[in-house]
């Protein structure tokens, strides 16, 4: 399930949007949240917490809304739809294609492969510790 998050900081960037929230009209707020990608048929939680809003790296203590992202075709074709939501929608239709896409996105763990190769192809190494001026030193 893809989540959608909207910070009050981001709402305040647009006076028209801020006015809708300030009005307190629940149907207008619900329509606005729907237009911003929230699935209004599911629960939308309002939190007051520390978080980093979109577009800034600063931490703010303010309200934010958390809910599920819409899955209708209009939203899935929107440029604002998240990649995770698109992959989830593909997976519902074609599980094998989604698995192939996820496999293509994996990064190789070179360090893990090197360590595994060293364990298989090397002998055990003996390390001796000696006391040197009050400190442990590896030889």
Distance CA 132, CA 58 (A): 48
Here the tokens at position 54 are: 């979109």
- What is residue 64's predicted lDDT score, i.e. its pLDDT? 92
Contacts 24+ apart (CB under 8 A), 77-81: 78/37, 80/37, 81/37
Entry pTM: 0.61
User: Could you report the average pLDDT of every consecutive run of 10 residues in the chain (139 residues)?
Assistant: 84 84 88 91 93 90 92 90 82 74 72 73 60 54
Phi–psi pair at 129, nearest 5 degrees: -105, 135
List the one residue out of 65, 61, 66, 38 whose CA is nearest residue 50.
Answer: 61
Domain ranges of the chain: 3-70, 82-122
- What is residue 111's predicted lDDT score, i.e. its pLDDT? 74
- What is residue 15's predicted lDDT score, i.e. its pLDDT? 81
Q: How would you class 75 by CB atoms within 10 Å of its CB: exposed for 0-12, middle for 13-18, buried for 19 or more?
A: buried
- What is residue 70's predicted lDDT score, i.e. its pLDDT? 92
């Amino acid at each position: 399930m893809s989540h959608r998050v909207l910070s009050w900081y981001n709402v305040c960037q647009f006076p028209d949007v801020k006015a809708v929230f300030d009005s307190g009209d629940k149907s207008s707020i619900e329509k606005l949240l729907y237009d911003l990608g929230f699935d209004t048929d599911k629960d939308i939680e309002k939190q007051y917490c520390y978080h980093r809003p979109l577009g800034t790296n600063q931490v703010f203590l303010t309200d934010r809304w958390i809910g599920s992202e819409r899955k209708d075709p209009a939203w899935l074709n929107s440029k604002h739809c998240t990649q995770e939501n698109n992959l989830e929608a593909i997976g519902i239709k074609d599980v094998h294609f989604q698995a192939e896409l996820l496999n293509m996105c994996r990064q190789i763990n070179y360090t893990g492969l090197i360590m595994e190769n060293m364990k298989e192809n090397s002998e055990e190494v003996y390390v001796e510790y000696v006391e040197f001026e009050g400190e442990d030193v590896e030889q």
